[in-house]
Amino acid sequence: MKSKSSRASHEAIALAADVSVSTVDRVLNERGGVTEEKARCVVEAAARLGFVRVLPEIWHTTKRIEVILPKNSTPFWQSLDDAFVRHGAALPRHYVMQRTHLKENDAALWRRAILNPAAPRAALIIAADAGAEIAPALQEVMDRGEIVGTLTTEIPGLSGHTHSGIDNVAAGRTAGKLMAGLLRREGVLAVLPPHERRVEHTQRIEGFRQMVADRFEVQVHPTYDRNHKLSSLVTNLLDKYGVVGIYDTGHDSVEIGETLRRRADRPVWIAHEKSSVHQSYLKTGVLDFVLDQDPNQQASHALLDVLHRCREEKFMLVPVQKRELRIYCSENL
């Protein structure tokens, strides 16, 4: 038998939630038989009224989050994948996270994965392999009600999504400002992107040019992921063009580092991502600066954003922080 105070509390909650007292009783005692919408109204009303007891979790259907990443074994992509594994383990129990890895440079494959998921999903987090080719597919899944978030590459012209990566144009501008500040001699600057397909690399090159083009000749040499040929490429750039600065927009860089280590005319070298390889070259003075986009923070931000947009209020106690571009040199490792 309920006490008078309990009955009065339930009546007050029922009035505030615009439901019956029996509905309040079912929700607070977790007996079921109440729609999710009514259950949410009851719990929110009880919280507003300061109802002193542990409130039940509102029943939820299982929600699926798919994370699509490229198949790429470089340290950055491995760190990003590992971060999703760690943060995914802390999701509410009614969320399921699936990681999908796709071959790079296959826009048709990426479009199919976006439009035809293996199971219904509430949200898609994607490190897009390209921009304009898959933007219509992302727009289509948003139009049918899916939450979409991007990592590493923000799709130009796509509205209605959240980007959890850095501003890549600003990253390129930062590299350019550092390069121009270090160099006191004229000469050629070489930019070495892995390939020209990924939007983040073209954006970094754009930002870099904005900062250095008035003082230096800028040559862009895509390597098409042929890292085993980087040594001969770098040697040729130094011997043939007298390159005074190298901006590497995204390699593991062993071939670059070992080549520059042997050169008395070592140019200024700026790279991306704080890998163990880059840290070693920073410590020995072969590499001047590393720009790091913090994959752990990107994964955390992306998942918290999904929870926020799915109205998981209790997980908003941890603020969704702005993503930061971090700069490392030999002095702050």
Express each pLDDT in 125-165 by its tens digit.
999 877 778 899 999 999 999 999 999 888 877 888 889 99
Contact of 310 with 303, CB cutoff 8 Å: no
- The CATH architecture of the domain made up of 168-292 is 3-Layer(aba) Sandwich (3.40)
For the segment(s) 63-165+295-324, the CATH number from 3.40.50.2300, 3.30.2270.10, 3.30.565.10, 3.40.50.300 is 3.40.50.2300
Cα(313)–Cα(254) distance, rounded to whole angstroms?
A: 45
CA distance to 114, 127, 128, 269, per residue, from 104 (Å): 14, 11, 10, 27
The per-residue DSSP string of 85-116 comes to: HHHHTTS-TTEEEEEEEE-SS-HHHHHHHHHS
Q: Which residue's entry shows tokens 């954006």?
A: 203
* Spacing of C-alpha 13 from chain mean position: 41
Helix (H, G, I), strand (E, B) or coil at 303: helix
The per-residue pLDDT for range 220-245, each reduced to its tens digit, is 999 876 767 889 999 999 999 999 99
Q: What is the largest CA-CA distance in the chain?
A: 92
Question: What is the model's pLDDT at position 4?
Answer: 52
Residue 185 is predicted with a pLDDT of 87
Q: What are phi and psi of 188, to 5 degrees?
A: -95, 140
Residues in the chain: 333
Give CA–CA dist 290/253, Å, rounded.
12
- Dihedral of alpha carbons 150, 290, 72, 304, sign: negative
Q: Mean pLDDT by 10-residue block, N- to C-terminus, for the chain (333 residues)?
A: 63 88 80 72 81 59 90 90 93 89 91 93 89 88 94 84 92 98 94 85 96 96 80 94 95 88 95 94 97 93 88 54 86 93
Provide the residue ranges of all domains of the chain, joining segments of one domain with +: 4-48, 63-165+295-324, 168-292
> Cβ(100)–Cβ(69) under 8 Å?
yes
**CB of 156 closer than 8 Å to CB of 200:** no
pLDDT tens digits, one per residue of 16-37: 889 998 888 877 776 666 777 7
